[in-house]
Structure formats: structure tokens, C-alpha cells
Structure 1
Amino acid sequence: MPEPRIPTTANRTTLAPSISTFLRLFPKLHLGGEEDFHAERRRHLEVFGIHAIPKEKVHSIHEVEFTAIRGPYGTIPIRVLYPKSGEDRRKKGESAALIYFHGGGYTVGSVDEFENGLRLLAESSGAQIYAVDYRLAPEFKFPTQIDEYSTVIDALMGDFGRIRGVHPDRICGGGDSAGGNMTAAMALGRRDHGQKNLAAQFLLYPETRPPFDTLAAVENNSGFYLECNGIFSFADHYLPRGLASSYKYISPGMQSPEYLQDQPPVAVFTSGFDPLRDVGVEYASKLDQAGVRVRWYHYENLTHGWLQMTAWSEEAVQAVRDVGEEIKRLAYGNYI
């Protein structure tokens, strides 16, 4: 194995003033805090829900479609964001699609809370975004969410995608935090089972493995939105009894570079003030060592959750636009 070009850890500088202001505006908003997770679900919807964001802060989008498909556990609601920047490709059946699984420790969140940032991402990239309201833990544990992810991929590779102008070779997967974990696991699983894989992966501050032995988990343990110790409870919610947290589709970041070979291209985005910072960097480094095409972006002044903070932070807006540029490169073949 070659030596990786990407380090295994990263740093933080000074928290962006816009993020500091956001955290002061919403001092009770935590992910993995001391509140019961049901209360966290409600509070997140009250702050990040697109209906709650000031209208002048809502990003424009050409069209939104509310639809659903049948899944192995029942109906899977999907919100499709069609960007104006992608209309020509849509009409020609050449559009890229990004299946997006949101973060929230597998436990908190809905597409309502991610739509605003995803609108910006769709218009920045020219790709259609298929944001999935997958079943949450602890009511539904692994592999429920992975099975639903695979079902959406298969649907987009068939008639469900064709009638929406999606090219079957341009279907990508993405997610933040727990959603990044599930995206990485999905790519490995489809490779292992000989299924047609994603065209590319976009991992935003992903939870690729438990972070508790890292410097980031110490530096950013509390006070920066994601409460590090709360990740214990999220893991408990997601993992069925009898399955080790080191399992390959639970903790891709714990696997060897040899196992991580032969994957679709990956773009990894990490944040300095995030307890998951170092596990994301480490995963990018392992992918690089494995010979996977990988690009790593690091934002020394941002915290966890910036996809949802674009209504309050220009730095978050720029980070989302960076993700959009990566989608353009990887999904439409414009490699740099």
C-alpha cells in the first residue's frame, strides 16, 4: 500500500463568528445533549425546519416534488429537488442524482430540517437531490436504514429515475454525520455483493467509526452543537444486540485499507470544531492509501452541522457550494 497523501488528523483555528452567533442564538439546540431524544427531534424541527426559517433566508429551487416508493418496511417518503441549473440535462435524460441520507445520530431529523441546505446544494451542483425520510432509530435499528438506501438506489437505476431524467450511471450517494456513515457502508455493501454501485460518494463530517479515542473528541467534547458523549446513546439506538460496533457496515473507518479498495470516488468534508473531525480525516487517509480516488476538504473554523446552518452563516454557504462543485466534477465526469 502506498503512503497516503492525506493526514490522519486535522486542526481547528478560531470558530467562525457566524457560527458562534448561531450557537448563542439557540443555546438549547444540541445533538446528543441531556434532553430526551424526542425533545431533540422537536427542537431541531423548530429551528431548522424549512417552514421555520425566515423566508428571505430560504434558498431558491426550481421545483420540489413530494413522492414515495415502496420499501421492505413500508413506504419510503422522498423529496426531490430539481435545480434550474440542471433542467437541460433533465430534459435529455442525462441528469445526475444525489441520494441524500441526513444526519442526526440515526435518531433525530427529517428532510424538513435539511431541505434549505440541500436546495443550495442542488442549484450549486446541477444535480437532482433525492432526500430520503428513512426510518429512524431506536424504533428501527440497523440494517433497516441500509436496506431502505439500497431500495432507493435500485429505484433510481430503473423507471423511477428514468422518468425523472436521471442517467443510470450518474447516481451518487451522500450524507452528513450518520448519513455519511450509511453512505460509506452502502458503497462497501454494494461492492461486496456485486451490485451496480454509486457513481460517487459525498461524505459531510461523517461518523465513520466511534470517535472517542481521538483528539477531536477531547477538544470538541461539548459546546459546539454535537455533544460527543451523546454519540454513545446514538450508537445504542442504532446497533442491534449481538452486533459489534466494529462490523464493516457499521464502522467503515475501522476497516483496513486493503478492504477499502475498489470503491467509487469519494469526497470527504470535515470541520475543525467537530468531535467527528479526526475519524473523517482518518477515513479519507485510508481511502487514499487504498488507491480510491478521494478529495478531502477541511474547514478549520466550522463545527458539525453546517449544511443546516446556511440561513445563518456565509461560511456554511461557501462550504455547501464546495460540495456542489465536487458533485459537478464527480457526477458529470469533470475531474480536476
Structure 2
Amino acid sequence: MARAGEDLATAPIDLAIERIRAVYRTWNRDTAVAQMRGDWDAAFGGGTAAVTCERVSAGGVDGEWISPANAPEHKAILYFHGGGFRVGSVASHRDLIAQIALASGFRVLAINYRLAPEHRFPAALDDAIAAYDWMLGKRLTPGNVAFAGDSAGGNLVLAAMLALRERGLALPVSAVLMSPWTDLAATGMSYVTRADADPIHQRPMILALARDYLGGQGDLRDPLISPLYADLRGLPPLLIQVGARETVLDDSVMLTDRARAAGVDVSLEVWDGMIHVFQMFGAELPEAHRAIASIAAFLGQHLHIKAERAPS
């Protein structure tokens, strides 16, 4: 939100919004998915964070280790990027991931899971689990691994943990969710109450992405598709961050309520004036730095290394 006396047109949040709109306004019904992905990566890729990046095949899934200096080898974060299961990649999210790595002191494995419409549910979920299995094969233990993800990636964080639990396998020690997309049926009242406040995401767009992910098959309320409807018992501690302007705000609020009712240790942070995955906009938003500092503190608490605060 603009400070007192500040021109709203130059408020930092408006700079972030314009970056997104600059991409969206070039698309129409005839824009190819490949073009959308290229545009998204070009708009949000890059970054100058002091990390090392190493390409790997994580159980057959294309991935990248993003590591700060002196990161412990026996602790790591597995990151799932957002993009509505249609766009997004390690490239588009590399700077955000790098900032989390730097602030927390932990190395991060980020993966390019398969995207729709070419690869529909459960391809992305299968890739997420394959990458986790690969990490455990590298002598990382579940107690030394945390999951993190934004938007559709937040969905994958939850779905992967639910699938692992169903198989009787060990879960990660904790998980971070940024603007998680937990309800592909889009039932939250925030789609109405935040429709005017959210400059980007409206319910028809969300439902179109959901249809794309499922391809006309499956139940939108299947817990592995929409984790909001899952039995959440037994999940590890969760940190959820969401912007107060988001139409998908209730995806986080309702998930928090259901998780707490199931006995899960969950912390919800609703950031005033912020938009979907505002943490990506560190160049524009001081709130992004503070949110990442909170993420780092949470990860440090559960991975048992004191995290340094990100700059405010």
C-alpha cells in the first residue's frame, strides 16, 4: 500500500503489478503455451544473488541445486515453483529461490516438473515425489529436508506430503507455502470479496487453469488435486504466507483452519496490501524481503540452524 503522501501510481506494489500485466497483455486466446512459458521466463528470470547453480537429474526430473556459500550438505529444501501448472520454471523462480537459500543458509533443490496441458495430473505430483525419493537416496534424511513452494507449487507441497503419507513414507520436517492454490474448485468467498482488489487473478482464469491441469478428467475436490479437501492429520509444521489482496486468499485461510482442526502446527501470515506470490518482487517490495526473512527463520527453527535475517 502507498505510504502517506506517496503517489499511488509509483507505489512499490504497483511496479510489481505492472511487471505482471506487461506479460499478460501480450497474450490472447491464440497465444501458444510455449510462447507463454518463454515470455514468463524472460520476464521473471535472471537475478544476481551470490549462489551457485548446478543442473541435476533428480530421479529423472530436471532440477537444479541452488546453493549459498557454506551450506550444510546434509540439510536441504525441495522447492516447487508456481505458474498454474501451465507456466513457470526453475528459471522464472531462480531469484526467489536464491533469496530463500541465502536468507536461510540452506541449499535448495528446485525442479522443472512436467506441465499441462501436455502432461496432466498426476504427472507433476509424480515428479515431485520422484525428486524427494532421489534426495533421500543422496543420504538426506526426511528430518533434514523441508518442502517449499508457491501457488501451484504450494499445491504440490501439500499433495506430495499427502501422497507420501498414504504410502506410509516419511514426511519432510516442515513446509513453506506461499499463496498456495489449495482449492481448484475455487469455492472461497475471497473470489468475490477480493475481486476488485486483486489486479491479476480472477475466478474464471483459475477455473480455466484447473481444467487445463485435469483435462476434463478427475474430481476437482480430490485431495491430491485440491489439498483443501484432504484429511490433513499428521502433516508437519506449516508456514503459510498470502497477500491480503488475493482472490485466492481463502485457499490459505480455509486450509489453515482445517489444518489446525486436524492438529497440525500451522502459522498463517496475511500480508496487508500484497498480491499473489509477492515474495518474487524483491527488487520492488520491502515486504518481500521481510517475508523471506520470516521464511528463513521458520526453516532455521525446524532444520535446527539459526537463519540470518534478510535485509529489510
Match for residue 203 of structure 1? 177
TM-score for the superposition, normalised by structure 1: 0.81
SS of 1:202 mapped into structure 2: strand
Give the secondary structure class of the aligned counterpart of 1:29.
Answer: helix
**CA 1:253–1:26 in 2, change beyond 3 Å: closer, same or farther?**
closer
Pick closer, same or farther for the CA change 1:20–1:211 going to 2, 3 Å. Answer: farther
Deviation, structure 1 residue 46: 2.1
Are 1:113 and 1:308, in contact at CA under 8 Å, matched by a contact in 2? no
Q: Which residue does 1:239 correspond to in 2?
A: 214
Distance in 2 of aligned mates of 1:286 and 1:333? 29
Paired residue secondary structure (2:144): strand
Structure 2 CA distance, aligned partners of 1:322 and 1:188?
A: 25
- The structure-2 alpha-carbon separation of the partners of 1:157 and 1:26, relative to structure 1 and needing over 3 Å to count, comes to closer
* 1:23 matched residue in structure 2: 17
> How many pairs align?
298
What does residue range 185-200 of structure 1 map to in structure 2 within 5 Å? 185-200=159-174
Contact 2:228 2:255 in 1 (8 A): yes
Q: Kindly state the Cα deviation for residue 254 of structure 1 after the two structures are TM-superposed.
A: 2.2
Deviations 1:235-262 (A, max 9, x none): 111114441111111111123xxx2111
CA distance in structure 2 between the aligned counterparts of 1:25 and 1:295, rounded to whole angstroms: 29
Flag the 1:286–1:320 CA change in 2: closer, same or farther, 3 A. Answer: same
Q: Deviations over 1:38-70 (max 9, x none)?
A: 2432321221011xx5xxxx3222x21111134
Equivalent position to 1:69, from 58, 65, 85? 58
The equivalent of 1:286 in structure 2 is: 258
Range that drifts further, 198-207 or 36-45? 36-45
Query: Could you tell me which amino acid in structure 2 is paired with residue 207 of structure 1?
Result: W
The two structures have a TM-score, normalised by structure 2, of 0.87
Alignment of 1:1-336 (within 5 A): 17-25=11-19, 27-30=21-24, 34-35=28-29, 36=31, 38=33, 39-50=35-46, 58-61=48-51, 63-71=52-60, 76-84=61-69, 86-87=70-71, 89-90=72-73, 94=74, 96-159=75-138, 162=139, 166-210=140-184, 212-221=186-195, 224-255=199-230, 259-332=231-304
Report what 1:3 is aligned to.
none
Deviations 1:79-104 (CA, angstroms, capped at 9, x unpaired):
111112x53x33xxx3x211111010
Partner Cα separation in structure 2 for residue 213 and residue 37 of structure 1: 29
Letter of the structure 2 residue corresponding to residue 325 of structure 1: A
What one-letter code is carried by the residue in structure 1 that aligns with 2:131? V
Q: SS of 1:27's equivalent?
A: helix
The amino acid of 1:200's aligned partner reads S
RMSD of aligned Cα (Å): 2.5
Contact 1:245/1:251, CA 8 A, preserved across alignment = yes
Alignment-mate amino acid for residue 232 of structure 2: L
CA distance in 2, matches of 1:154, 1:24: 39
TM-superposed deviation, 1:312: 2.3
**Alignment CA distance shift 1:310-1:286 (3 Å):** same
Determine what percentage of the aligned residue pairs are the same residue: 24
Structure 1 window deviating more from structure 2 (245-254 vs 224-233): it is 224-233
CA contact (8 A) 2:184 2:225 kept: no
Using CA pairs below 8 Å that are at least 6 residues apart, which structure has the higher relative contact order? 1
